[in-house]
C-alpha cells in the first residue's frame, strides 16, 4: 500500500482505537475463551501491531476490502496467541510435583519435609481451645488413626525425621507418604478445630 495513504488507518485509530477494539472483541467472543482484563490489554497491544503489519502488507488489487483483510489477520494472530498460551500452560503443568512425593534422588525425605512452615496444627488447636475441650478432641483424632499412624505421629512429635521413621518402622516411602496424607486429611484434622 502507498505509505502516504494513511486514510485507511484513521477509522481504526480514532476515539481511542474504538473500531479496532470492537473488531478485536468480536473475534474474542468467537473463541469462547475466558479472558482477564490483563489478557484484553495484551490482545489490544497485539491488535495494534497487527493493524500496522496489515497496513504494510495490504494490496488493494487482492479484491478484498482492508477491513476484511485486517479481520482475517487479527483472527489468525489471536488464534496463534491463544494456542501459544495453552501450550505454555501445558509445559508448566508437566513440571508440577506433589509435595508428598518422594525426592527425585530417592533420598530419605519428601518435598514436604523441605518446606519451611511455622504452622503447627496442634499448637493452633491448643491456642483456640480450652484445655479440657482440647484433650477430648485429640483423643477423638487419635482414635481415628491406625496403629502405624499413631506410631508415626508419636515419632514426629518426638522430633524424628521422615527417613528415621521409615527406617525404624520398616515401611516404604510410599506407605509413609500415604499414612501422612491420611493423618493430614481434612476429614481427620477437622475434629481438632
The pLDDT score that the predictor gives to residue 171 is 92
pLDDT surpassing 60 at residue 105: no
Listed in sequence order, the residues at least 6 apart from 30 whose beta carbon sits closer than 8 Å to its beta carbon are 75
pLDDT surpassing 60 at residue 191: yes
Q: What confidence tier does 140 reach under pLDDT thresholds 50, 70, 90?
A: confident
What is the tens place of the pLDDT at every residue in 60-93? 888 888 888 888 888 888 888 888 877 766 665 5
Contact 108, 163 (CB under 8 A): yes
Contact 39, 85 (CB under 8 A): no
What is the three-class DSSP state of 102?
Answer: strand
Contact 150, 97 (CB under 8 A): no
Domains in the chain: boundaries: 6-93, 119-192
Mean local confidence (pLDDT), 121-140: 66
| Cα 193 from Cα 191, distance rounded (Å) | 6
- Compute the C-alpha angle 66/69/75, nearest 5°: 135
Contact 74, 27 (CB under 8 A): yes
What is the tens place of the pLDDT at every residue in 22-33? 888 888 778 777
For 92, 101, 108, 151, the CA distances from 104, given in Å and listed in that order, are 18, 9, 10, 26
CATH topology of domain 119-192: Arc Repressor Mutant, subunit A (1.10.10)
| Residue whose C-alpha cell is 475434629 | 191
- Residues of the chain above pLDDT 90, percent: 4
pLDDT surpassing 80 at residue 51: yes
Residue 171 sits at φ, ψ, to 5 deg, of -125, 155
Q: Of the given ranges (34-48, 65-79, 90-104, 157-171), which has the lowest mean pLDDT?
A: 90-104
Among the listed residues 180, 141, 142, 189, the one whose alpha carbon sits nearest the alpha carbon of residue 161 = 180
* Mean pLDDT, all residues of the chain: 77
Contact 69, 27 (CB under 8 A): no
Q: What confidence tier does 170 reach under pLDDT thresholds 50, 70, 90?
A: very high
Amino acid at each position: 500500500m502507498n505509505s502516504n495513504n494513511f486514510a485507511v488507518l484513521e477509522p481504526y485509530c480514532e476515539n481511542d482505537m474504538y473500531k479496532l477494539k470492537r473488531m478485536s472483541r468480536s473475534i474474542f467472543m468467537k473463541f469462547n475463551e475466558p479472558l482477564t482484563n490483563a489478557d484484553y490489554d495484551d490482545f489490544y497491544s497485539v491488535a495494534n501491531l497487527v493493524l500496522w503489519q496489515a497496513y504494510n502488507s495490504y494490496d488493494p488489487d487482492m479484491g478484498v476490502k482492508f477491513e476484511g483483510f485486517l479481520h482475517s489477520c487479527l483472527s489468525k494472530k489471536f488464534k496463534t496467541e491463544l494456542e501459544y498460551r495453552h501450550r505454555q500452560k501445558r509445559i508448566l503443568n508437566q513440571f508440577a510435583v506433589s509435595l508428598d512425593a518422594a525426592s527425585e534422588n530417592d533420598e530419605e525425605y519428601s518435598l514436604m519435609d523441605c518446606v519451611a512452615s511455622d504452622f503447627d496444627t496442634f499448637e493452633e488447636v491448643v491456642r483456640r481451645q480450652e484445655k479440657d475441650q482440647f484433650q477430648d478432641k485429640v483423643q477423638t483424632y487419635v482414635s481415628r488413626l491406625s496403629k502405624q499412624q499413631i506410631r508415626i505421629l508419636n515419632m514426629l512429635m518426638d522430633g524424628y525425621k521422615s527417613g528415621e521413621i521409615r527406617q525404624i518402622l520398616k515401611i516404604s516411602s510410599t506407605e509413609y507418604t500415604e499414612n501422612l496424607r491420611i493423618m493430614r486429611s481434612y476429614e481427620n484434622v477437622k475434629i481438632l478445630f
